[in-house]
């Protein structure tokens, strides 16, 4: 009898084409969009440099400043004279305007209290960009002043000019054999994969509520089939669908994202650990979906409750907004989202080179979450069966 229950579920799944499209097309698009949108966040330079207009009278010091700013990985500078900041920013699309006194070196050396460097930008510019510009300006001017001092003191200034190149960062991984440069796609694929797996709620609620309304479950129960095989018959087919999602989303990250100009997904982690995490996430998502389907009277109600809940869990869990940009209290709250457990477990494998020890706590949380909601779904279904 159990194999016929499985066959019934598989037939129902593949008849619901619209739900399958949501499960596969939506997360693939999210992975493509977010991997490309966040590419510069994980890069050590900008793909398109920020345009900077330097307003000053031309002399050697100012020209050197503009050239040094243009040599950076982040800015393309142009020297202009007597132009309105508003025109440069809103009509000529400059990201920043820097007003620099042509005698800036002498004023700094004399410790002129009235000296300042003003910058202008749109109110919507990211604060991080201003801080990068601010630090770049301070670094360029400091280097030039130090070079002048070294020249007057007949000290070799070559080491100062290459000091930045002498400062390098080394990524530390939990696995010594694991070497991977962090990129947007390494974070986007696990994040939107978790999100898409929880949206298994849509096809589950569609089929389960229709079966309740049409009396299908009651007829199956009438031939002496217990509730557990009925629920298990729901879990296995959708578990398979979730694993197909995992494979497809990983392939999108590996082959489609780089075609569009993004970074390619590189998997250096253990494939067995990825399967363990995806299994735990899948079972948690399916059990949660079964509970929502049991407490809902219509498919519209299930989609509304489940959809809103999933979006809230995703927002709290670091799916939509990376945790590292959240304030501390939001990071603390995110711990209570099951999507956060799934995402952190996958990031341990994809990004940090973690082992089973590093993900076991997330596996435990997800399986406990699944057990609680499967038990609640069983109780609700049994209660309805006895009414």
The confidence band for 291, taking pLDDT boundaries of 50, 70 and 90, is very high
Predicted pLDDT of residue 387:
45
Rounded percentage of the chain residues whose pLDDT exceeds 70: 79
Q: What is the spatial distance between Cα 176 and Cα 89, in angstroms, rounded to a whole number?
A: 48
Which of 166, 193, 225 terminates a domain? The answer is 166
Which of 166, 200, 221 terminates a domain? The answer is 166
36 and 261 in contact (C-beta within 8 Å)?
yes
Whether residue 205 sits in one domain with residue 129: no
Whether residue 299 sits in one domain with residue 191: yes
- Tell me the pLDDT of the chain averaged across its residues: 82
pLDDT(373) > 60: yes
Q: What is the pTM of this model?
A: 0.73
Which of 166, 198, 229 terminates a domain? The answer is 166
231 and 378 in contact (C-beta within 8 Å)?
yes
Which CATH number does the domain housing residue 126 bear? 3.40.190
Q: Which domain holds residue 139?
A: 45-166
Rounded percentage of the chain residues whose pLDDT exceeds 90: 32
Whether residue 57 sits in one domain with residue 202: no
pLDDT(14) > 70: no
Predicted pLDDT of residue 386:
44
> Closest Cα to residue 98, out of 117, 70, 75?
117
**Chain centre to alpha carbon of residue 255:** 18
Whether residue 214 sits in one domain with residue 270: yes
Question: Could you give the dihedral angle defined by the CA atoms of residues 336, 340, 342 and 346, in that order, rounded to the nearest 10 degrees?
Answer: -140
- Mean pLDDT computed over 330-347: 92
Q: For 105-146, how does the pLDDT look when each residue is reduced to its tens digit (9 = 90+)?
A: 888 888 888 889 999 998 878 888 898 899 999 988 888 887
- Mean pLDDT computed over 42-48: 61
With tokens 């490309």, the residue in question is 36
The dihedral sign for the CA sequence 331, 267, 29, 245: negative
């Amino acid at each position: 009898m159990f194999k016929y229950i499985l066959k019934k579920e598989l037939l129902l799944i593949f008849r619901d084409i619209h739900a399958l499209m949501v499960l596969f097309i939506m997360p693939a698009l999210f992975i493509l969009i977010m991997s490309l949108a966040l590419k510069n966040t994980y890069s050590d330079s900008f793909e398109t440099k920020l345009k900077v207009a330097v307003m000053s009278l031309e002399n050697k010091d100012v020209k050197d400043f503009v050239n040094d700013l243009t040599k950076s990985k982040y800015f393309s500078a142009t020297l202009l004279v007597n132009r309105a900041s508003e025109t440069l920013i809103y009509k000529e699309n400059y990201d920043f305007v820097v007003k620099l006194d042509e005698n800036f070196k002498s004023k700094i050396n004399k410790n002129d209290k009235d000296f300042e460097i003003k910058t202008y930008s749109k109110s919507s510019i990211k604060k991080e960009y201003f801080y990068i510009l601010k630090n770049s300006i301070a670094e360029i001017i400091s280097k030039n002043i130090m070079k002048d001092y070294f020249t007057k003191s007949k000290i070799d200034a070559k080491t100062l000019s290459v000091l930045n190149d002498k400062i390098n960062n080394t990524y530390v991984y939990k696995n010594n054999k694991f070497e991977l440069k962090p990129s947007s796609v390494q974070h986007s694929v696990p994040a939107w994969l978790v999100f898409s797996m929880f949206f298994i709620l849509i096809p589950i609620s569609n089929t389960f509520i229709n079966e309740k309304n049409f009396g299908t479950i009651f007829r199956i129960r009438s031939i002496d089939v217990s509730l557990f095989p009925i629920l298990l018959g729901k879990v296995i087919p959708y578990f398979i669908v979730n694993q197909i999602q995992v494979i497809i989303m990983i392939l999108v990250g590996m082959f489609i994202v780089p075609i569009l100009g993004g970074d390619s997904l590189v998997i250096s982690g253990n494939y067995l650990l990825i399967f363990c995490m995806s299994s735990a996430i899948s079972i948690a998502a399916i059990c949660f979906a079964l509970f929502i389907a049991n407490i809902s009277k219509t498919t519209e109600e299930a989609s509304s409750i489940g959809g809103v809940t999933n979006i809230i869990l995703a927002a709290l869990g670091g799916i939509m907004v990376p945790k590292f940009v959240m304030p501390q209290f939001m990071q603390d709250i995110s711990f209570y989202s099951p999507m956060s457990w799934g995402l952190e477990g996958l990031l341990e494998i994809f990004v940090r080179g973690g082992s089973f020890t590093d993900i076991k706590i997330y596996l435990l949380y997800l399986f406990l979450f699944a057990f609680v909601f499967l038990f609640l779904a069983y109780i609700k279904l049994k209660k309805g069966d006895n009414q």
